[in-house]
Chains A and B, each alone.
Chain A
Amino acid sequence: MRYLFLLVFIWAGAQVQSQKLEPTSLAIPDSLRTGSSVVLEYTTDYRIQDHSSATVAYRKVITLLDSDHEYGNTLYEFYDADSKITSFAAASYDALGNQIDRARSGDIADRRFTSQSTFYENTRYKQVAVACPSYPCTVVFEVEEQLNDFALVAGFNHWKPQKRDQSLLRASLTVSVPLDNDVLYRAGDLSEPVISSDGKSRTYAWTTGPRAAQLDESCAPSSATTLPYLRLALADFEIDGYRGSFRSWKEYGNFMQTIMQGRDALPPRLAQEVQEVVAGARTEWEKVDRLYRFMQQRMRYVSIQLGLGGWQPFSADYVEQNRFGDCKALSNYMGAMLASVDIPSYPVLISWDESDNYPVVDDYVTPAFNHMVLYVPSQDTYLECTSNNAPTGYLGEDKQDRNVLWITPEGGELHRTPAQLPAENGHTRTIDVTLTDTGKTALDIRATFYGGAQEWFRQLNEQLSGTKDQIELLHRRDLLPDVSGSAYSLKVDPDAPRATVHYRTEVADYVRKLGSRMFVPINSYYGINRVPEADDDRQLPIHLTETRMMVDTVQLHFPPTMEIESGLFTEPLHYTHAAGVYDARMEATEDGARWIRTLKLLPVDLPREAYAEFRQFFLDVAKADNTQVVLRERRTK
């Protein structure tokens, strides 16, 4: 312990003496060596100059303790037409502080960013890696950036000094803002900032550390909710001549409304077609449905992120001419068609899969959204305008149960999308298992998938049109037992979130024979085996969002020459927990046995102490679901 104090003292002393001292990892206390890297220093200086420009500079000194750092020796920084990287430096040092490598200008790659889902985007990035031939290896990254029109996308909207599997010695963030403006913030696991003023600007300063590493654990909430995290926004901003404010959801919505204005005029021919499409519709819902279908058949989703930080949609006219658009353009197009038949709708900002972000809360205004859909108030329904196959009004599993921003003519309004219900998300499946005299087992599988569970099948039906290809993929995903079935169908309901699969086949290896016995798994292909990993020292809370109702019925038929030796249970099985409810029962039938299982999975947030019970529930489920019956030759004739 004394030794530890001494090391900390040496470290602190070294830092105080001069920043020019080369970074050494020798002084890292043992308590911070529990992850794969340690942030020795992370200082950020964010200076806001006016409503639309700022500079940001940061210096990161990170010791990589082993090779599991996942590109920890790589510096990358994004920029676009509204931002400019003015300084970009990286170097690496050995344990004694000797420089190993330093990035030269020729080493730095400067590339356009293209994500998998984006065809063209106006974002670029610089990237460079420095050598770390052995560990520990300390990297030093220094970046300075000039930001313009920065409030929305290119801006500095969050600070996350530590990742999972990483310790933190010390980090600080300083933000200065002119007195005629302000910075709005929401902190997680950070102390209140020290606030000072020099008469021209106000300065906020946050510091944190030391903090031991938080390891990755299964079924854990996002790191943004368990590690230090700060979300920032400039209260009043200007982007490309448009003024806006994050002081309230209403004002932020007003800004969005402004930049979208004037982009909803329909070309005359389209306006006429829209009238023809809705002609004869008896209800407003029918009009919405017809126009949504009309758009689905007419448009395709192409993500092209250009202009105004990527937030201003292409006009309805442009979309009509090209018959493609991104989420904003298609939502705007759909909204324009609805408006032309006097059905009001609101564009809605939403976060699609928010797992890595700080959740959007009522009392902190943030642009932390990455997608747009449309809301039709008269029908209380959301329209996902990028989908070519969703039923009208089906929003999608990854967009439910979260705060979203309606952009109404009166400004922004925060609302919550509907939560998932187990009964609307899951499947019912019946499997007839018939043991034949030939040694083969005939299987007849009929399953209907609902809600979130049907989404994958709907995509499959659209993306893979060949029956053979579908069967092969379903087999690879363990959803069908083989590829040589005699009957197969996949039917997707165009009007409801429902998909039905039927498959009939004969398999040779369902039953294992041993002398006079047969071992017959009850639910061979669809047993529930999801057991969270064992963890005797759980540190993080439990967080699950999945909602499902899974009902499986297996009808086992076997020849009259056989009888059940064991495995037929007469007492129903019942397990219950906050994360779900499991029921299974089995009964003898005229020519075999029937097994019925229901499993309801529920979203949960539980403390870490509940992990053992949580895991036990899934262990019980897995054990019960992988039951088998043993048949033997009938002894009583």
Chain B
Amino acid sequence: MIVRLVIMLILYAGSLSAQYEDGLKFGKIDDADRSLMVAPGDSSAEAYVLYDKLDLRFDFVPDKGPQTLETYHRRVKLIKPSSFERANVTLSYDSDYETIGNLDAEVHLPDGSTIQLRNRDFITDKGADDKSRISFTFPQITPGAIIEYSYTRRSESILIPASYTFQEDIPVRWSEYTARIPEYYRYASLGTQGNYFIQQVEQTHRNWNMTLARGQGNTSSIRFTDMRYVLKDLPPFQYQPYTNNLTDYLPRVKLQLQSVEYPNTMTQPVFNNWETTVRTLHERQDFGRYYQGKAHYNRVWKQAEAQIMAGTTPQERIAAAYYFVASNLQWNEQYNILGSDSPNNVLAAGSGNSADLNLCLLALLNEAGIKAHPLLVSLRDRGAHMEYYPLINQFNHLMVYAEVDDKMILLDVNGSDRPPGLPRIEALNHRGWVADERNPHWISVEVPRARRVVLADMQIAEDGHTAVDLTARLESYYAFAGRNQLHAMEQATEAPVAREVIARFPAASIRSNAVLSGGDNSLEPLTYKVELDLPVAVATQDFLYIQPILIPALDDALDDVDARLYPVDFPFPWREQFITTVHVPAGYVLDEVPESIRMVSEDGGMTATFTTTVQPDHTVIINFSVDMDRTFYQATDYPTLRGMYRRIIDLQETTLVYKRAK
């Protein structure tokens, strides 16, 4: 994968010019850039980043302590009208601990003129997320205009400086990250390496003015680490379907404060190891104390105790606690690893964030004698986990890890339609950290294979009219989706399974439908029966053509690209099985029997089986199944996966041909 990116970068770098080794002066534009009307190597690009830089510095403010100063400087060539939206700029910051200053903005026009924005052009307000915003738009935008702006963001938090991603959705000529870090602050580098044009890290000595306590000023020459990373002539990145954690595949600088060591003081670790981290977390009220301090959850326990302790096995008690929380608390659609309030208060309010619900469950489980711990994860598309460094900010969701007879059970409560053991799909990002105070550790966040079995009994009439009795047994995420559909449905056509049949055969009409089991109990598979009249058979002359597979197992989305740049990442493994029995009118015989076949992908991760059995009365039984056991495919595996997809789609569209016997 990395090799592919490197090759692309090398290929892209053609006869590109402009070097900024010595920096770039704001507002100084050369004529060649003014007249440039196409991005070198990419004639289709709507815009071209000529220069983009983030510079990280530090300052020490008396009574406030260390602060970061992040200076951005960006210059972009707008080539086509579709890029003009890029001339509307909004800078967002948290005014509780951040400010933005030194804002300069200019637009350089192809006719040689330059317009500088004035103070009145910058509009300050608050956005929907309650963060402060500065908005401005550039005047006189025309194809070939160059917008340029710079500003400095000052932050009172030096814990996590802004990360910097070198590659963008448009080509980039020069992309640079610099930092000058005083020796007192030790940062861990968590980024992704790039094929750097410049990569310099050196030690320098400079003056540093610091006041540790009132009246104790101290200016001295200390050591700094100067970093400079430059990538140039970068092609745009592309989004591809089934990509997870895209930013992990782009070159990026990401720093996290590891420790602080001032003169004549002991090193103050910001994080040391996972053991320390888990202790720190448990000392927090909004984490450990909420689920361990009985005063915080006694009212919840009082209300739930009888229901939970009525269970005679650990599994029954887990289920009882899970459904108690599911039916009494609503998720407010916010993810978090920290509780917003105590379980008692959350129960009274009736809703909370993802941590609130799961901390409440955790408190109940522990009180019921079940061994359970918080399980922290980074949600899908928020980045893969970093297990080496104990970084809490990589997590954004809290679940529950429980153990019964040395077997783990993953719990992630949000509504009763999804059973214990089945986290929400967004949480299936492969790994998770168990915040066990005595033994914090990483686990694979895996779920059993989701299954769907569809039994169809087809009675074909001579005119092609087909009566179908269909019974579906849905497990895991299929059952969860089915229950959601049942609750939302207003008409029979929106019923589970039936809706997919109707999507394929719009003329279908439903004779009856019923839940056989599991409609209100997510511990059971959902079984659903529907009787339909369908145009699955076409009668022409002496032939009957019949489509026996009513619901496609696969769509064709994997065909969307010719070549993959990033891995294909499915959230969970699954199995789909279709067993169809076809009864035809007397006098018809099967003219061609579809070949029985079993296909296994080269890696063994995907299997498809198609068998045809012909009974003496000419009834045909089709058994078609697809198993996807592997959820992660490297980009290089894409051709294999795509080939299997195509062959399976071919199988699911098989037609049976019957001929009238003579």
Contacts and interface: CB of A to CB of B under 8 A. Distances in A.
A488 interface: no
Contact of A119 (B81, B137, B535, B594): B137
Interface string B493-533: 10000000010001101100000000000000000000000
Most buried by B among A100, A465, A467: A465
Interface residues on A, range: 35 or more
A109 interface: yes
B40 to A, nearest CB: 15
A534 B491 contact: yes
Contacts of A509: 646, 649-650
Contact of B351 (A133, A321, A475): A133
Contacts of A475: 560
A35 to B, nearest CB: 10
Contacts of A466: 42, 44-45
A167 to B, nearest CB: 15
Interface string A451-488: 00000000000111111110010011000001110000
B130 A120 contact: no
Interface stretch (B119-127, B147-155, B392-400, B455-463): B119-127
Given A119-B88, A514-B654, A112 B594 contact: no
Interface in B545-575: 545, 559-562
B221 interface: no
Contacts of B141: 300, 323-324
A298 B81 CA distance: 10
Contacts of A283: none
Interface residues of B, number: 57
B624 interface: no
B610 to A, nearest CB: 12
Contacts of A120: 123, 135
Interface in B338-367: 349-351
A561 to B, nearest CB: 17
A472 B328 contact: no
A636 interface: no
B594 to A, nearest CB: 6
B306 interface: no
B349 A131 contact: yes
A413 B657 CA distance: 67
Interface stretch (A9-17, A190-198, A199-207, A515-523): A515-523
Given A508-B646, A619-B507, A630-B545, A215 B493 contact: no
Nearest to B42: A466
Contact of B654 (A321, A476, A512): A512
Contact of B81 (A109, A300, A468, A512): A300
B535 A133 contact: no
Contact of A133 (B350, B509, B649, B655): B350
Nearest to A92: B350
Interface string B71-89: 0000000001110100110
A622 B491 contact: no
Interface in A120-138: 120, 131-134
B653 interface: yes
B80 A483 contact: no
A609 interface: no
Given A464-B82, A465-B82, A567-B540, A534 B509 contact: yes
Contacts, number: 134
Nearest to A463: B82
Interface string B622-662: 00000000000000000000000010011001110100000
A628 B653 CA distance: 13
B490 interface: yes
A100 B329 CA distance: 13
B330 interface: yes
Nearest to B592: A515
B444 interface: no
Contact of A131 (B351, B490, B541): B351
A514 B509 contact: no
B507 A531 contact: yes
Contact of B88 (A302, A321, A529, A623): A302
Most buried by A among B329, B493, B510, B559: B559
B543 interface: yes
A104 to B, nearest CB: 12
A100 B139 contact: no
Given A535-B491, A567-B540, A630-B543, A465 B46 contact: yes
A324 to B, nearest CB: 7
Nearest to A511: B650
Given A300-B84, A464-B82, A483-B561, A323 B126 contact: no
B139 A321 contact: yes
A388 B87 CA distance: 16
B82 A323 contact: no
Contacts of B329: 133
B189 interface: no
Interface string A291-311: 000000110101010000000
B488 interface: yes
A120 B491 CA distance: 42
B350 A131 contact: yes
A304 B139 CA distance: 13
B310 interface: no
A114 B509 CA distance: 45
B237 to A, nearest CB: 12
A51 to B, nearest CB: 31
B10 to A, nearest CB: 20
Contacts of A517: 592, 657
Contacts of B507: 531, 619, 622-623
Nearest to B415: A67
B32 interface: no
Interface in B69-115: 80-82, 84, 87-88
Contact of A112 (B42, B127, B327, B510): B127
Nearest to A484: B562
Contacts of B493: 533-534
A533 B493 CA distance: 8
A271 B178 CA distance: 49
A625 to B, nearest CB: 11
Contacts of A565: 543
B266 interface: no
Interface in B314-342: 327-330
B19 interface: no
Interface string B138-174: 0111100000000000000000000000000000000
Contact of B350 (A68, A119, A134, A516): A134
B8 to A, nearest CB: 14
Contact of A472 (B81, B545, B561): B561
Nearest to A623: B507
A567 B562 CA distance: 34
Most buried by B among A133, A463, A483, A565: A133
B3 interface: no
17 contacts: A100-B350, A101-B350, A112-B125, A119-B135, A131-B330, A133-B328, A133-B349, A133-B350, A297-B142, A324-B139, A462-B81, A463-B82, A512-B654, A517-B657, A623-B507, A628-B538, A630-B657
Interface of B: 42, 44-46, 80-82, 84, 87-88, 123, 125-128, 130, 135, 137, 139-142, 327-330, 349-351, 488, 490-491, 493, 502, 506-507, 509-510, 535, 538, 540-541, 543, 545, 559-562, 592, 594, 646, 649-650, 653-655, 657
Given A300-B81, A630-B657, 5 more contacts: A67-B330, A131-B349, A321-B139, A463-B82, A509-B646
A-B pairs with lowest CB-CB distance, top 10 = A133-B350, A466-B44, A531-B506, A322-B139, A566-B540, A131-B350, A515-B592, A323-B140, A463-B82, A300-B84
Interface of A: 67-68, 100-101, 109, 111-112, 114, 119-120, 131-134, 215, 297-298, 300, 302, 304, 321-324, 388-389, 462-469, 472, 475-476, 482-484, 508-509, 512, 514-517, 519, 529, 531, 533-535, 565-567, 618-619, 622-623, 628, 630
